[in-house]
Amino acid sequence: MTDKSEQSGGDAAVEGAQEQGPPAGVDDAQKKKAPVKAEAKDEAKAEGEAKAKGEAGAKGKAGKKAPKKAGKGPEMEKMSTAGRRNRGRSMRGRSRRHTENLKKVEQRKQYGMDDGIKLLKEMAGGTKFTQTVNLVMHLGIDPKHADQMIRGAVSLPKGIGKTKRVIAFCEGEDAEKATAAGAMEVGIDELVKKISGGWMDFDVAIAHPRAMGKVGRLGRTLGPQGKMPSPKNGTVTPDVEAAVRDFAAGKIEFRNDAGANIHAVVGKADFSDEDLKENILAFIDHIRKLKPAASKGAYIKKVCISGTMSPGVELEVSQH
């Protein structure tokens, strides 16, 4: 009996100990270790996800192009336009005088020579200076082809109302004659050195063929300004004296632009109607004689005259 009671008592003690759990010190230690392990697992998991995302992003950037930015909406475009408009000097519209002159010109109408000149002089009056009369011709040529280029120089019968500053690349007797004819500077070596140093205070340069070996160095300086001597426009010639005299008196150079247009000065607004008419007809006839053989169809498509501050007037001219 005693052994059975002791055995039952021991079993009851074991069951009580199991129900009560581990000792107090052991339980507290386990509770402290549990959150530390959980935090370590969470950190490791977060690092793994971040690494995976980084690798995926690198692959995506290597294999795909960056998405395009969304375009500006209408409100943003208005704001940017307003900002550009307010930045710096505001753009000026047409003056009241120019607007009134535009009403005098009938659009798409070709005026006769006498009527066109009369209308132009009427619109060119009333300014504080004498306006220059310009002529523009639109030609039926292809500027991309060298054999259809139009270039040269011409002296108008009534001049252009102003003199030009002319220099001459020549020496010896030719230099003396050029100076007497009106050249403001003559010489070769010293003049080339002076222009290379930045001096450009002249309008036309004339050169003797013997000087072109040294003048050719100035191609990059004079070429962009249209002042490089050339045989095509008469500024490279053995007769330096005659060339200086002609250009100083107002001989004009011309060359077609990329749009097949030729621009030229044909006088001043204070010229008489007959003088302007004579200059205009002389220039048109000169251009007509230069028609390239490769040009087909209408050669002179359009002719307009205008003042420095006046609208253009289209003239009625034969196309051939």
3-state secondary structure of 226: coil
Q: Which of 187, 192, 165 is nearest to 176 (CA)?
A: 187
Domain 105-161+252-320 class?
A: alpha beta
Report the predicted TM-score, pTM, of the whole model to 2 decimal places: 0.61
Rounded-to-integer distance, Cα 202 and Cα 164, Å: 8
Q: What parts of the chain have a pLDDT lower than 70?
A: 1-92
Rounded-to-integer distance, Cα 154 and Cα 187, Å: 25
Rounded-to-integer distance, Cα 36 and Cα 31, Å: 9
Residue intervals in the chain for CATH 3.30.190.20: 105-161+252-320
Give the pLDDT of residue 170.
Answer: 96
Query: Which structure tokens are listed for 24?
Result: 């107090």
Q: Check: CB of residue 148 under 8 Å from CB of residue 292.
A: yes
Q: Which of 167, 134, 146, 151 is nearest to 265 (CA)?
A: 134
Rounded-to-integer distance, Cα 253 and Cα 190, Å: 26
3-state secondary structure of 262: strand
Give the pLDDT of residue 280.
Answer: 96
Give the pLDDT of residue 319.
Answer: 79
Give the pLDDT of residue 149.
Answer: 92
Give the pLDDT of residue 289.
Answer: 94
163-249 in CATH: which number? 3.40.50.790
Strands (E), the chain: 132-139, 151-154, 166-169, 185-187, 204-207, 252-255, 261-268, 300-306, 313-315
Give the pLDDT of residue 98.
Answer: 84
